[in-house]
């Protein structure tokens, strides 16, 4: 007879990891997103969604758990696990038969009646902004058709449109705002690139895919923990042309990187464009961020061979965007100009603040207007490059260039023929088929 004690059913990893992250979040060890990226659970979207729902309903959940007498009757119940499981129970519903789940389910009726209408089933990060959900296909690992097949089997369909008839709303359907810096850049296979503020590495891996792992990308990250995430992502996403460096970009010696042609500067910012709770950012904080952003941009513009510097933030404040750009333009006026991105992405509607003379040359997105997160992009181009182009490019070529930007969109929308050979990482938008329940 087997006398070994029976192993109890383990708590599903999703809930275990989510409760650990919640504990760290409540101990003020970082933002949910940062902690999720640092964590071990790979389905970032799923765990992030669950944690957002838990945090957004924190007051209702905590009160309902206390009122239900769960903690009085079950004093050993981990309160973080209890909160995560409650969010799931009141949201998607709990599945599984580990002990904490079975225990919590005994209190379901009471918890539901106490939480009542104070619990919102939909996370604001998913529903309130009413933004489309995007899927970026990493063609360094798989093909668009493969992903398309899998999405199709799971009840999702890709939205297609005619790339010769691009409208503004098409842009917004098919492009994730944070991909704009890479899309508007002139990088191509063989390019020599620096990603100055790289972690967690989304843009880095997109850049690597866009140049099809040819050329070279140096991805720099100052913060050690975030650097480790960057390293992991670069490997996971098979971005083999990337070298990572754990250092302060502003201390990167100019002469050692004298060949670099493209620099992406996507610095830490107030994140006001993705601020789900519309928290006010103190003026003092905005000022200090702007100061450090200007410092980074200035350093990027100082590299001797750099032809393009693409500056971006997910902030909506002019202090972190147009004002930083204005100061850099003043300082580097003999060397750099802003490329007019309104020409590059014809059909785009929303530009930089027009009280700045260069405002319309920059791109902006805003959640309420553009159905995507708030974002800002400005592209500095070395004047000699512009002169060369103007003398060698006639009007017909200019027309072709505009068509090229449409081609990008064509790729973005999922034209698999052009995809692998041109822009190897794709942003697209998947829409749930109507017959399938959301
Ligand atoms: C907005 S995040 C970058 C997001 C990233 N580009 C992406 O798409 O995944 C800004 C990053 O810049 C890093 N950072 C801030 N100052 C830096 C500096 N002086 N040198 C290098 N990295 C820096 C921050 O630690 C942070 O990880």
pLDDT tens per residue across span 11-25: 999 999 999 999 999
Please choose from 134, 199, 273, 295 the residue to mutate so as to test ligand 1's pocket, defined by most ligand atoms within 8 A of CB.
199
User: What angle in degrees, to the nearest 10, is found between the helix axes of 79-90 and 58-67?
Assistant: 110
Please choose from 38, 179, 198, 209 the residue to mutate so as to test ligand 1's pocket, defined by most ligand atoms within 8 A of CB.
198
- Is residue 101's pLDDT more than 90? yes
Q: Which atom, in ligand 1's list, is nearest to the CA of 206?
A: 8
User: For the residues 53-73, what does the mean pLDDT come to?
Assistant: 92
Q: Which atom, in ligand 1's list, is nearest to the CA of 230?
A: 9
Look at residues 189, 180, 195 and name the one whose alpha carbon lies nearest to residue 309.
195
- Is residue 139's pLDDT more than 70? yes
> d(Cα 240, Cα 301) in Å, to the nearest integer?
26
Peptide bond into 297 cis (omega under 30): no
Higher pLDDT, residue 273 or 267: 267
* Amino acid 190: pLDDT: 96
Average pLDDT, the chain: 80
User: For the residues 371-388, what does the mean pLDDT come to?
Assistant: 82
* Amino acid 301: pLDDT: 98
* Amino acid 401: pLDDT: 47
* Amino acid 344: pLDDT: 76
> d(Cα 189, Cα 90) in Å, to the nearest integer?
49
Q: Is 179 a catalytic residue?
A: no
The answer to whether residues 146 and 103 touch, using CB atoms and an 8 Å cutoff, is no
Sequence-distant (≥ 6) Cβ neighbours of residue 337 within 8 angstroms: 329, 380, 381, 383, 386
Residue 220 Cα to ligand 1 middle (Å): 8
The answer to whether residues 116 and 411 touch, using CB atoms and an 8 Å cutoff, is no
| Lowest mean pLDDT across 251-265, 302-316, 382-396 | 382-396
Instruction: Band the pLDDT of 342: cuts 50, 70, 90.
Output: confident
Residue 234 Cα to ligand 1 middle (Å): 15
Q: Which atom, in ligand 1's list, is nearest to the CA of 268?
A: 10
Q: Which residues line ligand 1 (CB under 6 A)?
A: 197-203, 220-223, 226, 248-250, 266-268, 296
> Which domains does the chain show, CATH number per domain?
13-126 (no CATH), 134-422 (3.40.50.150)
Higher pLDDT, residue 64 or 162: 64
SS3 244: strand
What predicted TM-score, i.e. pTM, was given to this entire model?
0.65
Q: Which atom, in ligand 1's list, is nearest to the CA of 202?
A: 9
| Lowest mean pLDDT across 2-11, 45-54, 285-294 | 2-11
* Amino acid 386: pLDDT: 59
Residue 291 Cα to ligand 1 middle (Å): 15
Please choose from 138, 183, 222 the residue to mutate so as to test ligand 1's pocket, defined by most ligand atoms within 8 A of CB.
222
User: For the residues 280-285, what does the mean pLDDT come to?
Assistant: 86
Residue 228 Cα to ligand 1 middle (Å): 13
- Is residue 404's pLDDT more than 80? no
pLDDT tens per residue across span 227-260: 999 999 999 999 999 999 999 999 999 999 999 9
* Amino acid 134: pLDDT: 64
Residue 329 Cα to ligand 1 middle (Å): 22
User: For the residues 188-203, what does the mean pLDDT come to?
Assistant: 95
User: For the residues 34-63, what does the mean pLDDT come to?
Assistant: 87
Distances (CA, A) of 136 to 6, 117, 389: 44, 35, 32
| Lowest mean pLDDT across 154-163, 214-223, 318-327, 424-433 | 424-433
User: For the residues 32-59, what does the mean pLDDT come to?
Assistant: 86
* Amino acid 31: pLDDT: 83
415 phi and psi angles, rounded to 5 deg: -80, 100
- Residue whose Cα lies nearest atom 6 of ligand 1: it is 198
Type and span of the H or E element at 385 = helix 383-392
Q: Which atom, in ligand 1's list, is nearest to the CA of 226?
A: 27
Please choose from 197, 202, 375 the residue to mutate so as to test ligand 1's pocket, defined by most ligand atoms within 8 A of CB.
197
Look at residues 349, 346, 281 and name the one whose alpha carbon lies nearest to residue 318.
281
C-beta neighbour count of 13 within 10 angstroms: 13
- Is residue 2's pLDDT more than 80? no
| Lowest mean pLDDT across 37-51, 79-93, 118-132 | 118-132
Residue 295 Cα to ligand 1 middle (Å): 13
Instruction: Band the pLDDT of 110: cuts 50, 70, 90.
Output: very high
- Residue whose Cα lies nearest atom 12 of ligand 1: it is 197
The answer to whether residues 204 and 264 touch, using CB atoms and an 8 Å cutoff, is no
* Amino acid 156: pLDDT: 67
* Amino acid 247: pLDDT: 97
* Amino acid 428: pLDDT: 38
| Lowest mean pLDDT across 130-144, 337-351, 360-374 | 130-144
The answer to whether residues 65 and 79 touch, using CB atoms and an 8 Å cutoff, is yes
User: For the residues 74-92, what does the mean pLDDT come to?
Assistant: 94
Higher pLDDT, residue 332 or 342: 332
- Residue whose Cα lies nearest atom 24 of ligand 1: it is 268
C-beta neighbour count of 161 within 10 angstroms: 16
> d(Cα 413, Cα 407) in Å, to the nearest integer?
10
Catalytic residue among 269, 314, 362, 372: 314
Q: Give the residue carrying structure tokens 């007051």.
A: 59
- Residue whose Cα lies nearest atom 14 of ligand 1: it is 197
Residue 260 Cα to ligand 1 middle (Å): 19
């Amino acid at each position: 007879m087997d006398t070994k004690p029976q192993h109890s059913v383990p708590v599903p990893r999703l809930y275990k990891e989510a409760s650990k992250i919640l504990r760290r979040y409540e101990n003020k060890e970082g933002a949910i997103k940062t902690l999720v990226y640092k964590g071990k659970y790979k389905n970032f979207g799923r765990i992030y969604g669950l944690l957002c729902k838990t945090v957004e309903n924190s007051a209702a959940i905590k009160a309902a758990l206390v009122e239900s007498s769960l903690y009085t009757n079950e004093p050993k119940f981990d309160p973080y696990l209890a909160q995560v499981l409650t969010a799931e129970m009141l949201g998607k519903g709990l599945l599984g038969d580990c002990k904490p789940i079975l225990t919590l389910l005994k209190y379901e009726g009471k918890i539901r009646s106490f939480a009542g209408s104070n619990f919102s089933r939909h996370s604001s990060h998913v529903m309130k902004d009413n933004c489309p959900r995007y899927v970026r296909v990493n063609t360094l690992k798989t093909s668009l058709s493969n992903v398309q097949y899998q999405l199709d089997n799971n009840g999702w369909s890709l939205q297609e449109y005619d790339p010769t008839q691009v409208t503004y709303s098409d842009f917004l359907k098919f492009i994730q705002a944070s991909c704009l810096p890479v899309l508007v850049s002139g990088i191509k296979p063989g390019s020599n690139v620096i990603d100055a503020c790289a972690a967690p590495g989304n843009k880095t891996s997109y850049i690597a895919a866009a140049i099809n792992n040819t050329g070279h990308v140096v991805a720099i990250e100052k913060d050690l923990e975030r650097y480790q995430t960057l390293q992991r992502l670069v490997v996971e996403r098979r971005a083999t042309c990337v070298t990572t460096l754990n250092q302060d970009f502003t201390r990167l010696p100019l002469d050692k990187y004298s060949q670099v042609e493209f620099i992406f500067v996507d610095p830490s910012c107030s994140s006001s464009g993705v601020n789900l709770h519309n928290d006010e950012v103190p003026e003092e904080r905005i000022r200090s961020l702007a100061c450090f952003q200007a410092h980074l941009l200035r350093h990027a513009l100082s590299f001797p061979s750099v032809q393009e510097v693409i500056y971006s933030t997910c902030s909506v404040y002019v202090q972190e965007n147009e004002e930083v750009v204005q100061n850099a333009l003043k300082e580097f006026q003999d060397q750099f100009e802003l490329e007019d991105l309104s020409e590059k992405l014809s059909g785009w509607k929303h530009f930089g603040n027009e009280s700045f003379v260069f405002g319309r040359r920059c791109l902006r997105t805003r959640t309420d207007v553009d159905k995507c997160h708030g974002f800002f992009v400005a592209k500095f181009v070395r004047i000699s490059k512009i002169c060369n182009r103007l003398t060698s490019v006639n009007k017909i070529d200019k027309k072709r260039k505009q068509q090229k930007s449409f081609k990008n969109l064509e790729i973005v929308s999922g034209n698999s023929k052009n995809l692998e050979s041109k822009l190897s990482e794709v942003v697209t938008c998947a829409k749930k088929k109507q017959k399938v329940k959301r």
